[in-house]
Amino acid sequence: ADGRLNVMPLEIGAGEPWVTEHSVMGILSVAVCPEYVSGKEPTVCVGGEDGVLARYRRRMMGAGRTVLHEGEGPIQKVIWKSPLLCWSNDLGVKIFNLITGQRVSYIPRPAFPPNLPPPTGQHLVWADNDHLLMSWGDVVKVGAVLVAGEEHVQNAPVVCAANQTKNFFAKVLHEFRTVSTVGGLVPIGKRSLAVLTVDPS
């Protein structure tokens, strides 16, 4: 893997391809702005081995770059549901509001025995509009994003355009350990999830 970002439209009329250099080190994850296809926000966020999370916006000449986070090790996963951007590294998951610049929450990685090597495999998935699925090694966490002062409201999506300037926060609802290293997380409806585990043998 290299540090070059290539954005290629799959349909005629969906825009022009563009390329930009992120780093001399490899890119590990890319998240495309949910409004990208509308043409209003030709923006992507990139995280990589260099520990830099950057937002790139296509311009007439090249791409504009804004560094959102750096200095805490490789950015393993990046996911985007407007207005929130989430990313994971070896320390945990961070959530950031791209509209207001609010640092929403930090969910720490589970503690592992210090005499063992760091757990392999990180996963970060939106289960629905308001819930996150996270894993490191053999530990899974389920988190919820809420609006401060409106925790009792359950009949409408929290992460949406109508709430984009409000103060969000996140909390962990469930945490459990699996039989072996997690290989993938898939939400099933609103109350279940499938966990793919990797056979250590």
Question: Given a cut of 80, is residue 110 above it in pLDDT?
Answer: yes
Residue 87: pLDDT band by 50, 70, 90 thresholds?
very high
Check: CB of residue 1 under 8 Å from CB of residue 26.
yes
Question: 49: pLDDT confidence band, cut at 50, 70 and 90?
Answer: very high
Angle at the Cα of 135 (from 159 to 111), degrees rounded to 5?
115
Rounded CA separation 126/200 (Å): 27
- The answer, yes or no, to whether residue 147 has pLDDT greater than 70, is yes
pLDDT digits (tens, 9 = 90+) for 12-40: 766 677 788 888 889 999 999 888 877 67
Half-sphere exposure of 123 (CA within 13 A, CB side): 23
Measured distance CA(124)–CA(59) in Å, rounded = 30
Confidence (pTM): 0.86
CB contact set of 142 (below 8 Å; sequence gap of 6+): 127, 131, 132, 133, 134, 172, 173, 174, 175, 193
Long-range contacts of 15-20 (CB under 8 A, 24+ apart): 15/39, 15/42, 18/58, 18/62, 18/63, 20/56, 20/62, 20/63, 20/65
